[in-house]
Amino acid sequence: MKKKIFLTAVLMLSGHAFAAAPMPEGNVANGKAQTLVCSACHGNDGNSAAPSFPKLAGQGEKYLYKQLRDIRDGARPIATMVGLLDTKTDQELADMAAYYADQSMSGSQADPEKLALGERIYRAGYAETGVAACMACHGPTGHGNALAGFPRLAGQHADYTKSQLIMYRKGFEDPSGRTNDGDTMVMRANARGLSDMQIDAVSSYIAGLK
């Protein structure tokens, strides 16, 4: 009985240690070589031309690493990414994250007709439905918080941001939506309180941030 309890404790501790394993230090040069296959959708420098694919250039290294791991390990299923990261090690993913983080994100444009509503939601949230201000985590200029792992939003394609907010909103109750925001469900809870029109407006506003 004591042996069984000891073995269980060891397994629990080893599992905790694995979960808490620090991110490997990324190598930009190695990351560039690892991202060659990604360029078809995300561009050579991480600035995708198609608005349906996210810009990765200039994104926070910690955030990128988490997303790459989540995609590889199945926590964030993306149909267009199936199989592409399956054989990547944690070190290779860290190298990819380092390369993209080292690039500069190109700018985008906001729709002037959506500016007022988008700015209101981004800067003040929407108290009526419990939506917190986006800038609380992503900063007043949308550059995120790299150390905390909060992503950069400024300059991102509006279509992509919109699609992710819709997926987060779906994920509040439906596991087929996006659910890899963690146990706190911050993004799912906020997206749940946004209408299609509000999501469209704030996504457009975010695209114009510099």
Per-residue model confidence as pLDDT tens digits over 4-60: 433 333 334 334 333 457 999 999 999 999 999 999 999 999 999 999 999 999 999
Q: Is residue 164 within 8 Å of residue 178, measured between CB atoms?
A: yes
pLDDT of residue 153 exceeding 90, the answer is: yes
pLDDT of 13 reads 38
Buried b (16+ CB within 10 A) or exposed e, 162-187: bbbbbbbbbbbeeeeebbbbeeeeeb
**Structure confidence at residue 21 (pLDDT):** 77
pLDDT value for 191: 98
Lowest-confidence region among 15-24, 44-53, 62-71, 165-174: 15-24
Tell how far CA 83 is from the center of its chain.
19
* Per-residue pLDDT reduced to its tens digit, 78-105: 999 999 999 999 999 999 999 999 999 9
Environment class of 51 (CB within 10 Å of its CB; exposed 0-12, middle 13-18, buried 19+): middle
pLDDT band at 203 (very low <50, low <70, confident <90, very high): very high
Whether 112-208 and 24-101 are alike in CATH topology: the answer is yes
Judge whether 50 and 160 are in contact, CB under 8 Å.
no
Q: Give the distance between the most distant pair of CA atoms in the chain.
A: 69
Please give the single-letter amino acid code of residue 97: A
At 10, the amino acid letter reads V
Q: SS3 for 150?
A: strand
Model confidence at 122, in pLDDT bands (50, 70, 90)? Answer: very high
- Looking at domain 112-208, its CATH superfamily turns out to be Cytochrome c-like domain (1.10.760.10)
Report the pLDDT value the prediction gives residue 3, as an integer from 0 to 100: 41
Enumerate the domain spans of the chain. 24-101, 112-208
Quick one: pLDDT at residue 141?
A: 98
Given CATH 1.10.760.10, say whether it is the number of domain 24-101. yes
